[in-house]
Amino acid sequence: MSLAVLRSRALAGMAAPPVTVEVHLANGLPAFTIVGLPEAEVKEAKDRVRAALQNARFEFPARRITVNLAPADLPKESGRFDLPIALGILAASEQIPGDDFDGYEFAGELSLSGQLRPVRGALAMTCAMHRADDNESHRRAFILPAANADEAALVSDADILPAASLLDVCAHFSARGAEGRLQRHRATPVSGAPVYPDFSDVKGQLQARRAMEVAAAGCHSILLVGPPGAGKSMLASRFPGILP
C-alpha cells in the first residue's frame, strides 16, 4: 500500500476542525513534501519525523513522500501532526498495518528519539471528536501523548488512549491480542479541591463583571477604585488568605 489516510484535528481558537492526513509514497528522487497550508512548525515535522523513525529502528523510505493535510484552505500549526505523519509513512511503506486507522484520531509532537511530547488544545480536540461521534455511526478513540491524557479525559465517555512514544502506538496496531495494546485512560478524581466564590453569585453589575472576565481571560491587571481600604477589606472577606 503506497497511500495511508489518518484523522487528526487542527486548533482554531476553541474550535478543533477535523484534518485528514494523507501520506503517499511514489517512485522518483527521494523527497519529503508537506502541503495543505502548513505553517513553519508543521513544515519542520519533516526533520522530526525522519529522526524519530530512524531512532525507533524503522526504515525511512528513500522515495518521494507527499503529505497532504486536508482541507487545503485551513491553516495548520504546531507539531500535533507529527504522530499521524509518522504513522502514515510507516503504513504506506507496509512497516505497520494501517487497516484500523479509521477508528482513531491522532495528535502528538515527536521528539528526535521517538518520544511523544504534549500538544495544546487536547480538551478542545477531544470535545470536537466526541460531538462528531454523536453524529456518526461509530465512535473513534483518540491516541495522544500521555501528558495530555488527564486533560482529554475530562470529556466523559471519550475513548482516550495515551501513549509515551511512537513505538507504543506502533505496538498497538501490530498487536494480535490485548497484550501490547494501549489502555483506555480515565481521569484521576481530585479530592479536597478548594471551592471559591463564583461570579454567578453576583447579581447585576454586568459591566463590572464583564471587565473582570476580560481581564482574567487575557491575564491582564485590573484596578479597583473605591473608598480607601474598601477594596482590600472586601477581598480579605471574600478570599481569605489572598492578601498578606
**Structural domain includes residue 244:** no
- Residues 170, 220, single domain; the answer is no
For residue 134, what pLDDT is reported? 73
pLDDT over 70 at 92, yes or no: yes
Q: What is the CATH number of the domain that holds 92?
A: 3.30.230.10
- What residues make up the domain containing 223? 199-238
- Residues 169, 220, single domain; the answer is no
Which of 174, 190, 223 is at the close of a domain? 174
- Residues 57, 151, single domain; the answer is yes
For residue 58, what pLDDT is reported? 97
Q: What are the Cα distances from residue 96, in Å, to 56, 57, 89, 92, 103?
A: 13, 13, 9, 8, 16
Q: Where is mean pLDDT largest: 60-64, 155-159, 186-190?
A: 60-64
For residue 189, what pLDDT is reported? 64
- Residues 33, 114, single domain; the answer is yes
By the 8 A CB rule, do 107 and 9 touch? yes
The cell for 182 is 494501549
Give exposure, 118-135, as e/b (b: 16+ Cβ within 10 Å).
Answer: bbbbbbbbbbbbbebbee
**pTM listed for this prediction:** 0.78
- Residues 153, 221, single domain; the answer is no
Tens digits of per-residue pLDDT, 109-121? 999 999 999 999 9
By the 8 A CB rule, do 35 and 67 touch? yes
- Residues 90, 159, single domain; the answer is yes
- Residues 21, 123, single domain; the answer is yes
For residue 226, what pLDDT is reported? 66
For residue 227, what pLDDT is reported? 65
- Residues 49, 112, single domain; the answer is yes
Beta strand spans in the chain (E): 3-9, 18-26, 31-35, 64-70, 104-106, 109-110, 116-117, 141-145, 159-163
- Residues 147, 232, single domain; the answer is no
151 Cβ contact list (under 8 Å, min separation 6): 122, 123
**Structural domain includes residue 182:** no
Instruction: State percent of the chain over pLDDT 70.
Output: 88
- Residues 163, 212, single domain; the answer is no
**Structural domain includes residue 188:** no
Tens digits of per-residue pLDDT, 135-147? 776 789 999 999 9
- Residues 95, 139, single domain; the answer is yes
- The whole-number average pLDDT for the span 154-175 is 94
For residue 101, what pLDDT is reported? 96
- Residues 22, 78, single domain; the answer is yes
Domain tally, the chain: 2
